[in-house]
Amino acid sequence: MVLIQDLRNTILERLKTEDLVRIPASEEEYFAIAENLPYKAEYHNSEIIVMSLASYWHEVLMVTMSGIFLRIFPDTEFDHIGSNVGVQILKFEGGYYLPDFKLVKGAPKFKPGSKSIITNPYLVVEILSPSTARYDVEVKLLEYKQIDSLQHVLLINQEKPQISHYQRLTEPNTWLNREYFSIEDQLTLEGHVIPLTEIYKKVKFEG
């Protein structure tokens, strides 16, 4: 228990000056401290990865997207889940991620022994920040694509109107990538047209 407390204290101390902290740890150590940290903690390649508090505009974007999803994905068919429920990565190096938002179609499937980590997301959303964008794009995206149930990944930039949409196709290991770079663009998601002006309607960009 002392070692776990020391690990937790080390993470909290480093977060005072770092936006993203990586600490080598076992899976057992991750689960021992993840629920007791006041920050978002993920596990990848034998490291605990902890992010500092989300920005104001990050949360504004997430609430806006939640409202859009509730309109186009009925809650009679989908569960709408926030970032406190984890997603288990079953392939590549393995790990546990906490997407900012996720949809589950039908009944959830849980990691054995857990009621807070699922294995069958239908859609995941990551709101990119300067400290996590590279990790989200270069590491997590590749692993998300290995989840058989997953049909959509949305990477949403919080600093400018820019969205990457990855959609699984019927051919094995084949994804369609659409990029949106202008506030005048319209995202198409399973036949629903979503203007970027609606997604970013409350965000105040700097500069």
pLDDT by residue, tens only, the chain of 207 residues: 557 888 889 999 999 999 899 999 999 999 998 888 888 999 998 999 999 888 999 999 999 999 999 999 998 999 999 999 999 997 655 689 999 999 999 999 999 999 999 999 999 999 998 888 999 999 999 999 999 999 999 999 999 999 999 999 999 999 999 999 999 999 999 999 999 999 999 999 876
- Write down all domains in the chain, each with its CATH number in brackets: 2-51 (no CATH), 56-199 (3.90.1570.10)
The pTM of the full predicted model, rounded to 2 decimals, is: 0.93
Phi, psi of 58 (to 5 degrees): -55, -45
- Is there a contact between 104 and 98 (Cβ–Cβ < 8 Å)? no
Per DSSP, what are the bridge partners of residue 125?
Answer: 101, 154
